[in-house]
Chain A
């Protein structure tokens, strides 16, 4: 069975602090894809990043960085120097290669960045 676990329900930080959102996944597939989405108060899920199971290189995009470790089945997301605009719910998701396109989401982590 496939499963995504985001153990942190809510995180509150002060602006300019760094924050890491954890994501642990379960799958028996050898090829799969991992995603992070941001859901601001407006409700629309915004795609942030996709990672293939065969590519364990970490990625940095501006203040965002992602740490993918197959050995621990984790795909963590770090925001450096957080800003108030980063306040949102963040979802980690898993998709198997060749399946119906179905995304398996975690329950989400609510991030509140205080000024």
Chain B
């Protein structure tokens, strides 16, 4: 079974440029997460989707970040415009929620963003 797929793996852009990350979750997983991981830190949740609905986006900087999950499968995370401080790894994870009190989140390899 394929895992969580993310692309690109690496992205280098200049500040003020837009950038987009793509995530394809594990087939059948209804819940998708975007996490931000700064160097030397643990991941922090940016947004969580249940199917097409964003149910927790309280940590998403909405002035420059946006996300969508059309048709409840793939998801795209966008930054416009990017700032130097956005340099980090952006991780996507998915899980199958609703069939128990907890479910493991499976993570993709992440996209490492460098803003120059």
Contact = CB atoms under 8 A, between A and B. Distances in A.
A83 interface: no
A47 B91 CA distance: 14
A110 B42 CA distance: 11
The DSSP consensus for interface residues of chain A is loop
Contacts of B106: 47
B45 A103 contact: yes
B101 A45 contact: no
Contacts of A91: 42-43
Given A47-B104, A106-B42, A108-B40, A101 B91 contact: no
B45 A102 contact: yes
B52 interface: no
Interface residues of A, number: 27
Given A101-B105, A103-B105, A108 B41 contact: yes
Contacts, number: 62
Interface string B14-51: 00000000000000000101000000111111001000
B86 interface: no
A103 B43 contact: yes
Interface residues of B, number: 28
A50 B55 contact: no
A43 B89 contact: yes
B83 interface: no
B97 A101 contact: yes
Shortest beta-carbon contacts, A-B, top 8: A105-B42, A45-B107, A100-B56, A44-B109, A43-B110, A43-B109, A33-B102, A102-B45
A8 to B, nearest CB: 13
A45 to B, nearest CB: 4
Interface in B77-113: 89, 91, 93, 95, 97, 101-110, 112
A105 B44 contact: yes
A107 interface: yes
Contacts of A100: 48, 55-56
